[in-house]
Amino acid sequence: MSASITFFPVGCGDMTLVRLADSNATAVLVDVNIRTAADDPDDATRDVAGDLRERLPRDAQGRPYVDAFLLSHPDKDHCSGLETHFHLGPLSDYPDDKKPDTEKKIVIREIWSSPLVFRRASKHHTLCSDAKAFNREAKRRVQRFRDGIGNADGERILILGEDENGKTDDLGAILVRAGEYFNRINGNANAYFQAHLLAPLPCQDDDDVELLSKNHSSTILNMQLASSALRPDSCRFLTGGDAEVAIWEHVWARHKHTPDVLAYDVLQAPHHCSWHSLSYDSWSQLGEKAKVAPDARAALGQARFGAFVVASSKPIKDDDADPPCIRAKREYQEILSSASGMFLCTGEHPKSWAPEPLEIEITAAGARKKAARSSAVASVAAAAAPRAG
């Protein structure tokens, strides 16, 4: 099976599944946004939980699972549906073995969590129930690790970024520091994957803490995905949750002499294609007078040839909304023009009135967009139809 990245149409929110090219087709899910309407069969909202489940592997007990689940940051549009659709708590308490496949909760073999991102998020707003549930589960797993009993499927956790005041200093074996690379997924080194942890970055002072907290501090990873064992760097997938302008400026300051660190074939446009990831100015107030922050643009501008920028958002209109913001889309299109790349939006794929999961396949030649299933079905039907005359 080839490696792939699937972006689900979840409105302004993120839910992205990475499948690797290894024999297990290792599954890494970044964020989840399964809204109540998407679970309602009488509502027209796309059944993204169904779309996700049909793409997930089943374990020996027939339970659907992800090898790893990363929560980029604990906002509602990145963790909605977690309690409803995922099993949290010890795997020995898994309750759904007698239920039909479609009703079984999804097992998270390993959690990827950033306590520093949580700390910054909770400074400015109250966490929703799904975010609190994630945090409880992450803490449970850390405690298991500290007790020496955390090394099993459904119990593992990887901590992304060191926390403040030495709180993560004793977590050596499960801690990835900002700037480090890792290739371990669910306890095993994976030759088809490597990720570079670009953020959260530790702060220099209190002003820094305040600034980064207000800029939707998120975990930023640049993943290197192999198309085969011989081609480890077939695709770079840069994903950074809702990180805004000050964070991308910090990232650029740290890596501007080695910009390849930020090179991508697929970029998830931060914060659902928000203008605030590229600028300090307000798009709705200043319109075309709003200025781009050059360092943030440089951090997000390292597109490799044929790259895709994907806005995980509702359809982008030519108005003063933000996010998604038409001016941000134009900026990404300009970045892509010199790389012969393509801008895509989950809410518009293939049609804004009937969005479907957007799938990027990783081949030896790089990343390529797969045709939407409805258009594939339509072309098969057209080919099969008897010709007139």
Cβ partners under 8 Å of residue 227, min gap 6: 2, 3, 21, 234, 235, 362, 363, 364
Most distant pair of Cα atoms in the chain: their distance: 78
- Minimum CB separation of residue 176 from Zn ion in Å reads 23
Please list every residue from 288 through 307 that binds Zn ion, using CB under 5 A: none
- Minimum CB separation of residue 12 from Zn ion in Å reads 7
Question: Which residue's CB is nearer to Zn ion, number 77 or number 110?
Answer: 77
Question: Which residue's CB is nearer to Zn ion, number 11 or number 355?
Answer: 11
Q: How far apart are CA 360 and CA 120, in angstroms?
A: 32
Give the interface segment with Zn ion, choosing from 77-85, 168-176, 259-267, 371-379 (CB under 5 A).
Answer: 77-85
- Minimum CB separation of residue 218 from Zn ion in Å reads 9
Q: How far apart are CA 134 and CA 157, in angstroms?
A: 12
Question: Which residue's CB is nearer to Zn ion, number 154 or number 270?
Answer: 270
Q: How far apart are CA 272 and CA 311, in angstroms?
A: 5
- Minimum CB separation of residue 219 from Zn ion in Å reads 13
- Minimum CB separation of residue 271 from Zn ion in Å reads 6
Q: How far apart are CA 112 and CA 107, in angstroms?
A: 14
Using the CB atoms, write b or e for 48-75: b if 16+ within 10 Å.
bbebbbebbeeeeeebbbbbbbbbbbbb
Phi-psi region of 89 (alpha: psi -120 to 50; beta: other; left: phi over 0): left
- Minimum CB separation of residue 61 from Zn ion in Å reads 34
Q: How far apart are CA 134 and CA 116, in angstroms?
A: 14
Question: Which residue's CB is nearer to Zn ion, number 244 or number 359?
Answer: 244
Question: Which residue's CB is nearer to Zn ion, number 78 or number 104?
Answer: 78
Of 140, 134, 137, the residue nearest 121 (C-alpha) = 134
Cβ atoms of 344 and 355 closer than 8 Å: no
- Minimum CB separation of residue 211 from Zn ion in Å reads 19
Question: Which residue's CB is nearer to Zn ion, number 242 or number 265?
Answer: 242
Answer for which of 31, 77, 155, 348 binds Zn ion (CB under 5 A) is 77
265 near Zn ion (CB under 5 A): no
Q: How far apart are CA 250 and CA 338, in angstroms?
A: 25
Cβ atoms of 378 and 385 closer than 8 Å: no
Q: How far is CA 343 from the centre of its chain?
A: 17
Question: Which residue's CB is nearer to Zn ion, number 194 or number 279?
Answer: 279
Q: How far apart are CA 132 and CA 321, in angstroms?
A: 30
Question: Which residue's CB is nearer to Zn ion, number 77 or number 265?
Answer: 77
Number of residues that bind Zn ion (CB under 5 A): 2
- Minimum CB separation of residue 241 from Zn ion in Å reads 7
Please list every residue from 199 through 258 that binds Zn ion, using CB under 5 A: 242
- Minimum CB separation of residue 267 from Zn ion in Å reads 15
Fill in the DSSP letter of residue 389. Answer: -
Question: Which residue's CB is nearer to Zn ion, number 137 or number 242?
Answer: 242
Question: Which chain residues interact with Zn ion by CB under 5 A?
Answer: 77, 242
